[in-house]
């Protein structure tokens, strides 16, 4: 509550009976000064004459002595005199000045309250006008921005439509690239997800398919990873194609070492690179068959000679060697 800047004192206060009695007491001047200080302090408090520091703490004689800049004993004595003369009341330690209204000008107080009400009303009106202006400005700005945005959008809609189509095409290409990458990786795993253990296990499985198991340690990790990305089935087909091609020249071609094949030799036999050789396939035992046919021919010739000598006579019939030559022709 705001403090009161003045209090009302009647001009004949020193003719008051209580003041006259106080003047007859020792330290009367100090007591009277404390009385006026007490009235002024109550006016500052503006709490209907109740002296409270806050809602829970009441002013004590020690606190008042400090505020009035007087000795504690003098303030305590003055408060006792005021209480005895009925000038104050002390209830539960709370000092109260009774009939406080007689020290106030009621008309003036009402006028002050009215002035405060008018002042507060004017302040609220100004705040309302200010708020309305701010809202109007914000609304106008929003409308202006909306109009500008619409105008800008009309100007760039066609360009935006083209850009959107291009963006859609780019997104579609990205999705296709992602799908292709997934298909190129063994078991659908991404390169970042492949562990060395998985790659080595895969390499062991294709290594076991190859007949010449030499130089396994010479196949680098990068080569093994490349094989893994190609996949087990295609590598298996490449091995089969290579071994089939070897059988066509089995008399002189031998399989490469495993290290040579898996480092680079398999490349020509992948699905996209393989070109079948049209040379007729030769069985693995061709050499033995040729030898057997040659021996059979010799045996036949010997048999023919034996038969000729068994049936020989002195006639001029052709010799066995002539017969052999004729047969060869």
- The tens digit of pLDDT for each residue in 20-74 reads 999 999 889 999 999 999 999 988 888 888 989 888 899 998 999 999 899 999 9
172 vs 230, more confident: 230
7: left (phi over 0), alpha (psi -120 to 50) or beta: beta
Contact 64, 57 (CB under 8 A): no
Q: Choose between 162 and 297: higher pLDDT.
A: 297
- Give the model's pLDDT for residue 22: 92
Cα atoms in the Cβ-side hemisphere of radius 13 Å centred on 50: 14
Rg value, the chain, Cα? 62
Residue 138: the pLDDT is 57
Which has more pLDDT, 304 or 55?
A: 55
**What does the buried/exposed string (b/e) look like for 97-115 if buried means 16 or more CB atoms within 10 Å of the residue's CB?**
beebeebbeeeeeeeeeee
Model confidence pLDDT, tens digit, residues 178-210: 665 555 544 444 445 789 999 999 999 999 999
Burial of 31 (0-12, 13-18, 19+ CB in 10 A): buried
Q: How confident is the model at residue 175 (pLDDT cuts 50, 70, 90)?
A: confident
Do 38 and 82 contact (CB within 8 A), yes or no?
A: yes
pTM of the model: 0.34
């Amino acid at each position: 509550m705001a403090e009161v800047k003045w209090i009302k004192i009647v001009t004949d206060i020193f003719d008051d009976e209580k003041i006259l009695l106080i003047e007859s007491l020792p330290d009367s001047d100090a007591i009277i000064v404390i009385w006026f200080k007490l009235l002024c302090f109550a006016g500052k408090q503006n709490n209907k004459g109740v002296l409270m520091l806050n809602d829970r703490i009441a002013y004590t004689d020690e606190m008042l002595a400090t505020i009035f800049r007087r000795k504690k004993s003098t303030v305590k004595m003055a408060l006792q005199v005021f209480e005895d003369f009925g000038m104050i009341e002390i209830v539960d330690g709370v000092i109260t000045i009774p009939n406080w209204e007689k020290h106030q000008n009621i008309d003036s107080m009402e006028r002050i309250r009215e002035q405060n009400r008018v002042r507060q009303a004017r302040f609220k009106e100004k705040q309302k006008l200010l708020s309305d202006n701010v809202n109007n400005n914000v609304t106008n700005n929003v409308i202006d921005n909306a109009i500008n945005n619409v105008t800008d959008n009309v100007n760039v809609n066609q360009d935006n439509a083209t850009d959107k189509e291009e963006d859609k095409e780019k997104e579609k290409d990205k999705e296709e690239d992602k799908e292709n990458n997934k298909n190129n990786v063994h078991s659908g795993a991404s390169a970042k997800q492949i562990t060395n253990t998985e790659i080595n296990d895969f390499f062991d499985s294709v290594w076991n398919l190859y007949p010449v198991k030499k130089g396994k340690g010479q196949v680098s990790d990068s080569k093994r990873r490349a094989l893994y990305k190609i996949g087990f089935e295609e590598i298996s087909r490449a091995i089969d194609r290579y071994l089939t091609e070897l059988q066509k020249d089995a008399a002189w071609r031998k399989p490469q070492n495993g290290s040579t094949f898996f480092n680079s030799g398999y490349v020509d036999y992948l699905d996209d690179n393989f070109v079948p050789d049209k040379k007729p396939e030769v069985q693995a035992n061709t050499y033995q068959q040729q030898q057997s046919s040659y021996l059979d021919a010799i045996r036949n010739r010997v048999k023919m000679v034996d038969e000729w000598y068994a049936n020989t006579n002195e006639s001029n019939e052709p010799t066995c060697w002539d017969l052999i030559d004729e047969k060869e022709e």
